[in-house]
Structure 1
């Protein structure tokens, strides 16, 4: 069936949530659409995203939620179903609701029907995303890179504190999520089974920490971390050239000054501006949503008149 027949309409883009989209189980909160051989586009599965589409001349609306007892992966509700059942996949939400309405078993692809393959919808969902996680292949293992960090250590190809990657593999006979992190003074591997952390290993280097797991010993440890991959090396270099900072970095003076020097300083007209106050106040408020113009009064005088270039820099 042609996807044009779905008459899809994005009703709400939803929210990017750092503790979901850039954390241990981030792999579950992104979808990868193949654009060309060996090139994928990463699209966030946003909380509270709502998409309307048509099947069998009937309007369906799917909403993405996060459940308090299952935050490690998205859940889906079809608002067309008055029972408001919660499903673990969009495919199940669509096909089960369709069966209830028409008493017919179908096999629609949830991600396809929801429009993740649609260029316009994908672009709307990607708006405001500062860093797009990506995947690499290491000896037939798909390694997911979901956070970057840099250092001056050439032996790590300049990867550093904050860098994280993950992949699925068997550990003690069970399929597990293996999360690799570079911390300030060590490398760490956390093993998760069914969303529960079962083991943590630490070492001074990727080789040291991997020697303690007794698995995958035939693969170079830096390859498993992903830091030998050319795409990762390029991403880290770009990160060094133009650092990305997230909410957890807003209290880190060194990171914030570097980001300010590269992204804001040349476009701000007021000398001696207490610019960091904007981020501190934003971080301290309860809501993650901010009304830009009114909250810039934390930094500027109340009657300050912005020019477009300066206001755009803050956006």
Structure 2
């Protein structure tokens, strides 16, 4: 298997953040999301596509520079990409970096080779800087010293300040859960219009606060608040997750929802220890319907059934027969998945 091409990329201009674009109606287009795994947990990092940002890569001993601009073929509020190499450049602004560099490369070298524009626009993290505020962090970097960190990060922008002040009204922490008026504000902002009006939403927080255990399993807790058989929409679940985050809770689930229905949250001030404990239980098979070290009658049945079927000689027409008294109790899809057979 061939290795993935990893270009040597140079950042030659950082560009700027424009609040009306990066925090406007098309903000999802102006940010690149990179997913990582840290301590068994999925972590997402967000990087802005800044106006005027330039990256350079060398292809066939020739420099290619991709620049981010405002506006593309479809919308003037979306980002566009423009590539240039020496005296050559794109004939028009492209909608994505792959098209920008590949189309110019094709015109120069008369080849159909395509390059990943995303790889060329990305920059690998080489060093981390930590501080108590944006200004101290930026000062440690030792570059563009005439600028303040809060200016470069857009934090002194009036629109950003206004948004941050608004968000402060809808955030609290575990030690403030007793303040019903504040909690109700958060409920109205995140959840009220997305769930049934009869639910006693505050009960979850009252009982959780009184419980010595800082961890809950979200779905089982919600089931106790709603009528039997209540079906949650994905929109409703997103709202519940939003209110949990707004009240200082952290999702510490160590697996994707496709793997298990369990979803663990903690209110602890030290979520890393809770995360490590849940991950340890998961790795040792205790967060499954039946732990891996216990007898699983269902799995034994299916494996025995499959083994018996493999020993069963095929009939004259080349087909195997499954005892109808058993087969009739299961849907076709289940039989196909469990027994690796084709149902005719």
In which range does the TM-score fall when normalised by the shorter chain? 0.3 to 0.5
Of Structure 1 and Structure 2, which has the larger fraction of its residues in strand? Answer: 1
Of Structure 1 and Structure 2, which has the larger fraction of its residues in helix? Answer: 2
What TM-score do the two structures reach when normalised by structure 2? 0.41
- Structure showing greater radius of gyration is 2
What TM-score do the two structures reach when normalised by structure 1? 0.44
